[in-house]
């Protein structure tokens, strides 16, 4: 089945819209309860004067909590659409090199690589954190190291893909898989060791179990985003290909 870029991106954006709505609902139902607990703790701390700069910005809120929930849901939906656009475009560009027989495993494979590269690696070094943990004065600095980590992670993934192509002619399949696994572990371990720790993040005011709960829920939602995009795009492509190939053999009748 040959696809045009337009027919791939339309299906990617369709999957993105469905996943975006689901993810906004996930934010509302699963992540918000923990954010509310963290915000309540933060406000209690600033009311007793215990908190320093970190909580100061919330003394004169620009938006109500309800508006922030709505803004968060809108941001979640928009992010899902943008990730879908990037995912669909990269999928179209690398589809012929993905090792699978149909588009569903191809899309899932790329989604797994995307999740690990864009999300998991930066999250291992700079994990998602509930409100009240980060110092407002260091948010710029934390953003810079986070974006450096994300960019480096993507560059390493591209370099590893190149390496895989180079090794194709020189090593047997099984040896090459082991070599690639080793190279990936070494490259990403080095990246995580070399990058500086997040400046001024953890504040003792937030209980550890709340932080853990928040991180699991946040990462769960992001895993759902990538899984949903991979499943959605792959399923839409394969479904159309199946329908077309079902029709074709019937045509040359007697």
Judged by the rule CB under 8 A, the positions of this chain that interact with another protein are: 2-5, 8-9, 27, 31-32, 35, 54, 57, 61-63, 67-69, 71-76, 78-79, 81-82, 85-86, 89, 92-93, 95-96, 99-101, 105, 109, 119, 122-123, 126-131, 134-136, 139-140, 142-143, 146-147, 173-174, 177, 198, 214, 218-219, 221-222
Radius of gyration over every alpha carbon of the chain, rounded to an integer in angstroms: 22
- Smallest gap from Cβ 45 to another protein, in A, equals 13
Distances (CA, A) of 139 to 134, 164, 209: 7, 37, 23
Can you say whether residue 132 is alpha, beta or left, with left for phi > 0 and alpha for psi between -120 and 50 degrees?
left
CA distances from 82 to 26, 60, 184, 204 (A): 18, 32, 27, 35
Closest to another protein by CB, 36 vs 187, is 36
State which residue, 230 or 253, has the beta carbon closest to another protein.
Answer: 230
Q: Which is nearer to another protein, 140 or 253 (CB)?
A: 140
Q: Exposed, middle or buried: residue 182 (CB in 10 Å: 0-12, 13-18, 19+)?
A: exposed
In the bound complex, what is the minimum distance in angstroms from residue 254's beta carbon to another protein? 30
Q: Where does 95-118 have alpha helices with state H? A: 103-114
4 or 254: whose CB is closer to another protein?
4
Between 82 and 190, whose beta carbon lies closer to another protein? 82
Nearer to another protein, 145 or 253 (CB): 145
For 225-235, b/e burial (b = at least 16 CB within 10 A) is bbebbbbbbbb
| Contact by Cβ (8 Å): 79, 15 | no
Kindly state the smallest distance separating residue 189's Cβ from another protein, in Å.
Answer: 21
Q: Least separation, in Å, of the C-beta of 148 and another protein?
A: 12
């Amino acid at each position: 089945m040959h696809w045009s870029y337009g027919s791939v991106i339309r299906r990617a954006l369709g999957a993105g819209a469905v996943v975006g709505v689901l993810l906004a609902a996930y934010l509302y139902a699963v992540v918000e309860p923990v954010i509310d607990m963290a915000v309540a703790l933060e406000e209690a701390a600033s009311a007793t004067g215990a908190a320093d700069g970190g909580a100061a910005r919330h003394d004169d809120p620009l938006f109500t909590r309800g508006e922030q929930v709505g803004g968060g849901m809108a941001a979640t939906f928009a992010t899902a659409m943008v990730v879908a656009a990037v995912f669909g475009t990269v999928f179209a560009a690398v589809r012929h090199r993905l090792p699978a027989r149909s588009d569903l495993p191809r899309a899932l494979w790329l989604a797994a690589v995307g999740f690990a590269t864009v999300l998991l690696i930066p999250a291992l070094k700079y994990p998602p954190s509930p409100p009240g943990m980060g110092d407002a004065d260091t948010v710029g600095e934390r953003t810079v190291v986070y974006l450096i980590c994300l960019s480096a992670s993507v560059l390493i993934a591209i370099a590893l893909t190149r390496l895989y192509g180079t090794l194709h002619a020189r090593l047997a399949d099984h040896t090459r898989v082991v070599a690639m696994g080793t190279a990936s572990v070494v490259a990403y371990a080095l990246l995580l060791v070399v990058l500086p720790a997040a400046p001024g993040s953890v504040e003792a005011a937030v209980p550890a179990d709340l932080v853990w709960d928040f991180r699991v829920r946040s990462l769960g939602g992001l895993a759902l985003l990538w899984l949903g995009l991979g499943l959605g795009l792959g399923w839409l492509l394969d479904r159309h290909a199946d329908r077309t190939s079902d029709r074709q053999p019937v045509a040359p009748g007697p």
